[in-house]
Amino acid sequence: MIAFVSGTVAALAPDAAVVEVGGVGMAVQCTPNTLSTLRMGQPAKLHTSLVVREDSLTLYGFADDDERQVFELLQTASGVGPRLAQAMLAVHSPDALRRAVATADEKALTAVPGIGKKGAQKLLLELKDRLGAPVGAPAVGAPVSTGWRDQLHAALIGLGYATREADEAVTAVAPQAEAADGTPQVGQLLKAALQTLNRAR
């Protein structure tokens, strides 16, 4: 198993990064939060989980080992594959997921694209004794909801856009973020921001 990759960031995309390791470019699928910490041409270390399928080998990357462990634990629940597990971590931090499961918070889970009410109820039952207790502060996701602008701006800068372009894109998607029910989903906002930037060019 590949436990982590460490090297220079060679490329960034909305859902992945390429890290050069010993002359080889390793494509790593990442959440927007993780991508926002990376910079082109800068050294990076990503904790990874290798998902093996008959027709593919996919490497998923995370900012820390806790996130990687939660990613793997989520997949022990029936119906949760790597893409859904990654979507859950794109919307919630590991601690927010632990808190949601510990408090049986269906609404938190249905905020993830692809999870409906019945799916959330099933996940709460299956994950109850697997994720463990939350270890962070009790504040429920407040920094994420208030910090979507910073996360989105950092992700756009990391993708190589100028500060002015990033500012304009954040402003352009602000109405969409404010209209969101609950915590704005940075992944969706990033896609919308990239569309506005592509139209402007």
pLDDT digits (tens, 9 = 90+) for 12-63: 998 899 999 999 999 999 998 899 899 999 999 999 999 998 888 999 999 9
pLDDT digits (tens, 9 = 90+) for 87-103: 999 889 999 999 999 89
Which of 44-48, 120-124, 155-159 is the least confident region? 155-159
Q: Which of 117, 29, 124 is nearest to 77 (CA)?
A: 124
pLDDT at residue 129 greater than cutoff 70: yes
Predicted confidence at residue 141, as pLDDT, reads 39
182-186: average pLDDT:
70
Report field, pTM of the whole predicted structure over 0.75: no
Those residues whose C-beta lies under 8 Å from the C-beta of residue 87, and which sit 6 or more positions away, are 112, 113, 114, 187
Q: Is the distance from CB of 90 to CB of 84 less than 8 angstroms?
A: no
201 pLDDT exceeds 70?
no
Q: What is the CATH number of domain 4-62?
A: 2.40.50.140
Q: How far is CA 166 from CA 5, 27, 54, 107, 123, in A?
A: 28, 24, 40, 31, 37
pLDDT reported for residue 200: 62
CATH of the domain spanning 142-200, picked from 1.10.8, 1.10.238, 1.10.1740, 1.10.3470: 1.10.8
CATH C-level class of 65-127: mainly alpha
Q: Where are the domains of the chain?
A: 4-62, 65-127, 142-200
